[in-house]
Amino acid sequence: MLKVAFLWHMHQPYYCDPVTGKMFLPWVRLHCLKDYLDLPCRVGRHDRLKMTFNLVPCLIEQIDLYVQGKTSDRPLDLTRRPAAELSREEKVEIFQTFFAGHPGTMIDPYPRYRRLYRKLIDCSMDAALAARTATTQEIRDLTVWANLVWVDPFFRHQAPFKRLFDKGEKYTEEDKQELIEAQLKIMAEIVPTYRSLMEEGKIEVSFTPYYHPILPLLCDTDSAREALPGIVLPKNRFVHPEDAELHVAKAIAMYRDRFGRDLQGMWPSEGAVSEAALTVLARQGIKWAATDDQVLFGSLAKGGQPTEQASPYVPYQFLTPHGPIHLFFRDHTLSDRIGFVYSGWDEEKAVTDFMDQLHRLADTVGAGNRDVVAPIILDGENCWEYYRNDGDTFLELLFSRLAADPVIETVTMSEAMQKLQPATLKNIQAGSWINHNLRVWIGHPEDNVSWDLLAEARRAFASIKEKRPDFDPVRLAAAEKSLLVAEGSDWNWWYGDEHRGPQNEAFDHIYRAHLMSIYSALSLPIPNALFTPITSGLPETFATEPEGTVTPIIDGGLSHYYEWLGAGRFDCLKAGNAMHRAAPLITQIYYVTDEHYVYLRIDFAAKRFLLDNPAARVKLNMVSPRKGEFLFSADGVQSLPDWAGDKRDILFGAGEIAEIGLKKTVFVPDGKGEIFFRIGIVEEGEVTEIWPQGDPIRLQFAAHGEEIVWDL
């Protein structure tokens, strides 16, 4: 029987402002409504279902602050304010920030919320203009919907959520207050529910080190060289395994307090492991940890062990100076199918595909009654907003199938450790679940600056602690807390080129605020460097605008080097790297216009993709000004929306690439305006890939004889 060990990782960075006590960002509260409670409750409904949930202690600490009324966040404060009393600036802020969610699944399905979003679009995304023309009732409805859509479908039948969803609009201030109170009630139920389900034997709860640090880098930043020998590291080598020890010890102490037992296992932050990090865990009594399957093969090679017969479907045992620790290696293909692929599929087909994958594993790696385990490890919060109905239908179907399947046994990580005989792993190569290295958090000039500033602040803390035994212990404890927060992984996640977007400046500000807090608590002057942003502040949309007009030949090939020169481009490879998903099928999307046509070009990872895959389709998903789908195969146009007119207005060529030409008048009668679109791949009737996954590509065009001003 194949054992399947799910681990759902629940995490948010420590957003609490060390000065004001308010949350810099609202994601703890919003994800509490949508992600942290429904998953364990769903598991609890099935007798044969067991799973592991990994919680981060600093997430629990922040939940406590909300529940105890000790903190708030800016969107919550604006929601609490009576709509009639909001200032002009506050209304503008609401239009800027209250559409936080994937539009296709968290805005479009709700007519009132969609109309309010359309109001912003019709104002050319000018929040000031939208706010100036909005009524008090529209503002009130917007604040309600911006909170309401984050409530998981699992709870929408409960009061007051059902009544508010049914009402739809014309909300009152009393409705808002009732909604806020219901949010806090959900938050208060989260940790007690996990404890109750664990005591019933339904789930296991594991932890991550307290403030989610990258343990190998705390132990020694030189560990990054194990996977990347040529990486450029910070000026100051950071070697503080005692800090790693403190993060782990604090997590263990919270676990005993909240769950009344000893912590057995950990998902180290980002699955980042090294020999020094595992030694820290073993010294603290941790029995198991997990990382990515690619780390296994790097570790085997490091130790001179053969990789040909190695399997990630058995636990391994690594012997530390403080005893052995069991290791599980994440099946990144299966995990990523849930995290990245299935959100665009029909739920029945997605679950059938997943179960088929598990059965194939049972027939191969589990043949001959061999005991094996497939570790499925992924975020428990980030993918569901891309699923229809927040993944409700998918999860219910998946969990029912898993519970009823006669050849699959779901187990917790500790159960897998107890039931399976481990193999031996002689060495560990430092790495994480992302590309089995540590590059996301170190090596870029921005990353390295942040590490040097951290090292400087830590030296200041250590100096006061060592030389001033009379120093105020309360202030020293505050400085230590800010230091540990600054050692968290999330700040460096947003430094460097891997993740460019609107979050960079906010996370840079939060990180430097915590470093400043160290100096303030120690009564030391704040270094000038901390007043200068570390991030370049340049958002990366992975898209560029066209530089002018181009008229390519639509034949499925590059006729000459300059054929698409000057076209706009969306880089799927960079976008895929930023999402840490498997290599995309589509690598680049080009878009441009001439006097009469809109032209699109799709480049594939495998040349002649459409020609070699006759069942595959390219999907052009039009978002605006009209919604609809065009499907193309190697044979040409397969289907088009009713409004698209005659196929003769559509050009298509498939060869090494795919090229599309559509008359402008297909979209707008006068040939002037803009379109919003996405490009995807459809295989066996299901979308296996779509770009972009966030906001669609925007292409402006002018009527014949007019000149366009490019919005660069």
488 & 516 share domain: yes
Q: Is the residue at 643 inside a domain? A: yes
Over 70: is that where the pLDDT of 581 sits? no
| CATH code of the domain covering residue 525 | 1.20.1430
524 & 604 share domain: no
Last residue of a domain, one of 473, 504, 531: 531
Query: What local confidence, expressed as pLDDT, does residue 573 receive?
Result: 82
Query: What local confidence, expressed as pLDDT, does residue 634 receive?
Result: 93
> Residue 36 half-sphere exposure, CB side, CA atoms within 13 Å?
27
Q: Is the residue at 576 inside a domain? A: yes
596 & 677 share domain: yes
489 & 624 share domain: no
pTM over 0.85: no
Q: Is the residue at 88 inside a domain? A: no
CA distance 265 to 100: 34
Reported as a pLDDT band with limits 50, 70 and 90, residue 666 is confident
Over residues 432-445, the pLDDT tens digits come to: 998 889 999 999 99
Over 90: is that where the pLDDT of 683 sits? no
586 & 483 share domain: no
- Given a contact cutoff of 8 angstroms between Cβ atoms, the answer to whether 8 and 380 are in contact is yes
Average pLDDT (264-291) is 98
Asked if the bond preceding 692 is cis, omega within 30° of 0, the reply is yes
Last residue of a domain, one of 531, 555, 570: 531
Bridge partners (DSSP) listed for residue 653:
659
Q: How far is CA 542 from CA 100, 577, 587, 590, 696, in A?
A: 20, 11, 12, 12, 11
612 & 569 share domain: yes
Total domain count, the chain: 2
Q: Is the residue at 553 inside a domain? A: yes
Kindly give the residue spans of alpha helices, DSSP state H, lying in 365-503: 392-404, 413-419, 445-467, 473-486, 490-493
Q: Which domain holds residue 480?
A: 444-531
Q: Is the residue at 108 inside a domain? A: no
Supply the DSSP string of 324-370, one letter for each residue: EEEEEEE-HHHHHIIIIIGGGS-HHHHHHHHHHHHHHHHHHTTGGG-
Average pLDDT (616-643) is 91
549 & 691 share domain: yes
- Given a contact cutoff of 8 angstroms between Cβ atoms, the answer to whether 281 and 266 are in contact is yes
Q: Return the closest-CA partner of residue 569 out of 404, 397, 699.
A: 699
Over residues 31-70, the pLDDT tens digits come to: 999 999 999 999 999 999 999 999 999 999 999 999 999 9
Over 50: is that where the pLDDT of 711 sits? no
Last residue of a domain, one of 531, 564, 599: 531
Over residues 327-347, the pLDDT tens digits come to: 999 998 899 889 888 887 899
624 & 553 share domain: yes
CA angle (159, 163, 165) in 5-degree steps: 115
505 & 558 share domain: no
Q: Which residues contact 470 (CB under 8 A, 6 or more apart)?
A: none
Q: Which residues contact 345 (CB under 8 A, 6 or more apart)?
A: 353, 686, 687, 688
Q: Return the closest-CA partner of residue 82 out of 200, 146, 177, 13.
A: 177
Over residues 7-28, the pLDDT tens digits come to: 999 999 999 999 999 999 999 9
Q: How far is CA 78 from CA 84, 89, 134, in A?
A: 12, 11, 16
Query: What local confidence, expressed as pLDDT, does residue 101 receive?
Result: 87
491 & 586 share domain: no
Q: Is the residue at 633 inside a domain? A: yes
CA distance 89 to 103: 24
